[in-house]
Structure 1
Amino acid sequence: MKNRTVARLLYGEEVDMNGTPVRQPFPTEQVDQIDPFLLLHHHTTTVSPDIDPRKAGIGPHPHRGFSPVTFIYKGGVHHRDSRRNNSIVYEGGTQWMDAGMGIMHSERPPHDIQERGGVQEIIQIWVNLPRKYKMSQPNYQPLQANETPVVTGDNYELQVVTGKFQKVKGPIKTLTPLLILRLTMKAGATCEVPIPESYNAVLYLLDGQVMIKGYGLVDGYNAVEFNTDGEGCTITAKEDTRILLLAGEPIDEEVSMYGPFVMNTQLEVMQAMRDYQLGKMGILIED
């Protein structure tokens, strides 16, 4: 396998998102997006036992024009939305939501967060949707850890969320071609990951340290953006590590973003704001 070269290393600096500290390797001044991936947020928090989980986390808010996706690493996330979806996904699971024409949702800790240690660790990514799907019907897909196919190797375990790895297909259905893998490696393990040559690709290290063949050492909290000049990447863990690998066919369309809306033009963003104010994205009353 011809290994891809590394385009750049992006460190996940801590930023404040409406009072919530998150690590954000992209977007930055260096890179606006890694098409079709618009942003990556890594967030860890300890939920105080004095706080009602129904009032913690992120309250009702709208989205239009893209897919917000949450990967749960510790604890869980209680998802509610204006399309009457109501589910909790725990550690090792994924919540995938195609916002399409518009939806309201909330993201809270589960009612039993304290019984599970009180710590919530998640990664959220925003996946862009092409123009033809931006006004499609919203769709929510919860995926628990035990529903996620696993490929085991020599001292590593790989969850296939969507796309295909070694003939194993991920269950999440996406509107554009994607490959998303969750990889847990013990020190000394090596994993070769084939990536379709037309896909843009980035991997994010939640912790530990790895060696990327042809590049060198990478520490936790860094994202590695690859060039599209090879058939995949080879990763060797120098320390125990957790990795999220994102790859996808680029959409290559104009992007206009404002807050929770991702459209193609500023006019479409203004229309999204107006539709939200008029209640056209639904109403979410949490139980």
Structure 2
Amino acid sequence: MRSIRKIVKAEYRPIGELITYSPMPTGSIDMIDPFIFLNHHGPQTYKPNNKGLPFGPHPHRGMETVTFILDGDISHKDSGGNESIIGAGGVQWMTAGSGLIHAEVSSEKFKEKGGDLEILQLWVNLPARLKKTEPWYKGIQKNKIPIKEFDGGRAQVVSGEFLGTKGAFQPETGINLAMLFLEKGAKLQLKVPAIHNIFFYVIKGELQVNNQQAMELHLVDFGNDSEELQIEAIEDSTLLFGHAKPFDEPVVARGPFVMNTIEEINQAYKDYQSGKFGSWND
């Protein structure tokens, strides 16, 4: 079985009234190439007439965001002209590429009515050859995302493939992502190419993976010495699972930009300030 280097507990980092846990980066783990950042917002319940999510217009360059809406919704808008409202169970994929401005807020209905909210946003790096690619966005509702059922659970196959089922997205970088829902007692055996890095974040519940306990709000960092993964659900659990071949490139991240050199970061700030990321109209 694949070895486990460490199991990291997410740090509690609230953003105003928004409950937020951050398993990566922390003092214990910087990144799992090409996965570079994860924020877990909620779970929490918003009262009627709330302000919703606080993520107003801001820029990105050189990376991708994958946003999983477990509860609530997100109203997306960007400087490329894309707009959508994606509800519970849906996923948003945005390739920032050469640069754009976007906002991720709650819908007017959610702000008026309130309700439960739980959202994960994962940042995935882009290799140098794609840092300046054309920005791209797509939001997909829950009923359009393929499901792979297995004994004791199911997987929502977001990208790449999982157990032979192709995902809703097929990124050029070959990133594989799935949201796994396991019932208590479920057992799952997976094979992941040893060269691939694994992203394994327990959102809810308790799992045993390769004979080690992984509790909710914990990220498991694996070695690259075997293909074999054995997972058992000690209780009903939800897991964000991914894997990809690492890019093995220098990574320089500053604020909303992820590039290969500090010079490229400085240029990103200059380009944004000079209006090269597009205009924003409320």
Deviating more after overlay: 161-170 vs 128-137: 161-170
Whether 1:6 and 2:25 are equivalent positions in the alignment is no
Provide the rounded CA distance (Å) in 2 between the counterparts of 1:270 and 1:19.
32
Report the CA distance between 1:242 and its aligned residue: 0.5
Contact in 1 for aligned 2:72/2:110 (Cα 8 Å): yes
SS state of the match for residue 93, structure 2? strand
Contact in 2 for aligned 1:179/1:247 (Cα 8 Å): yes
Could you tell me which residue of structure 2 aligns to residue 138 of structure 1?
135
1:275 maps to amino acid: D
Report the CA distance between 1:19 and its aligned residue: 7.0
TM-score by length of 2: 0.94
1:167-178 equivalence runs, <5 A: 167-178=164-175
Contact in 1 for aligned 2:11/2:26 (Cα 8 Å): no
SS state of the match for residue 65, structure 2? strand
Structure 1: tracts of 5 or more residues without a match: none
Provide the rounded CA distance (Å) in 2 between the counterparts of 1:284 and 1:138.
15
Whether 1:267 and 2:233 are equivalent positions in the alignment is no
- Kindly, what percent of the aligned residue pairs are identical? 37
Q: Deviation string for 1:143-199 (max 9, x for gaps)?
A: 221111111122201111111222211121213121111000111111222222221
Report the CA distance between 1:94 and its aligned residue: 0.9
Structure 2: tracts of 5 or more residues without a match: none
**Which of 151, 157, 169 is equivalent to 2:148?**
151
Provide the rounded CA distance (Å) in 1 between the counterparts of 2:245 and 2:16.
31
Provide the rounded CA distance (Å) in 2 between the counterparts of 1:135 and 1:72.
28
Report the CA distance between 1:64 and its aligned residue: 0.3
SS state of the match for residue 269, structure 1? helix
1:70 maps to amino acid: T
SS state of the match for residue 206, structure 1? strand
Provide the rounded CA distance (Å) in 2 between the counterparts of 1:125 and 1:131.
19
**Which of 127, 132, 137 is equivalent to 2:124?**
127
Report the CA distance between 1:30 and its aligned residue: 2.0
Root-mean-square deviation (CA, aligned residues, Å) is: 1.7
2:49 maps to amino acid: D
Could you tell me which residue of structure 1 aligns to residue 109 of structure 2?
112
Provide the rounded CA distance (Å) in 1 between the counterparts of 2:199 and 2:208.
15
Contact in 2 for aligned 1:91/1:145 (Cα 8 Å): yes
**Which of 91, 95, 98 is equivalent to 1:94?**
91
1:11 maps to amino acid: K
SS state of the match for residue 108, structure 2? coil
Could you tell me which residue of structure 1 aligns to residue 243 of structure 2?
247
Could you tell me which residue of structure 2 aligns to residue 221 of structure 1?
217
Provide the rounded CA distance (Å) in 1 between the counterparts of 2:151 and 2:113.
29
Report the CA distance between 1:21 and its aligned residue: 4.1
Whether 1:83 and 2:80 are equivalent positions in the alignment is yes
**Which of 231, 234, 252 is equivalent to 1:235?**
231
Whether 1:66 and 2:63 are equivalent positions in the alignment is yes
Contact in 1 for aligned 2:35/2:199 (Cα 8 Å): no
Could you tell me which residue of structure 2 aligns to residue 37 of structure 1?
35
Q: Deviation string for 1:19-59 (max 9, x for gaps)?
A: 75421111112221100011111011433322355xx4310
Provide the rounded CA distance (Å) in 2 between the counterparts of 1:75 and 1:171.
21
Provide the rounded CA distance (Å) in 2 between the counterparts of 1:41 and 1:67.
14
Contact in 1 for aligned 2:50/2:114 (Cα 8 Å): no
Provide the rounded CA distance (Å) in 2 between the counterparts of 1:168 and 1:33.
27
Contact in 2 for aligned 1:113/1:119 (Cα 8 Å): no
Provide the rounded CA distance (Å) in 2 between the counterparts of 1:127 and 1:244.
14
Could you tell me which residue of structure 2 aligns to residue 51 of structure 1?
50
Provide the rounded CA distance (Å) in 2 between the counterparts of 1:272 and 1:146.
37
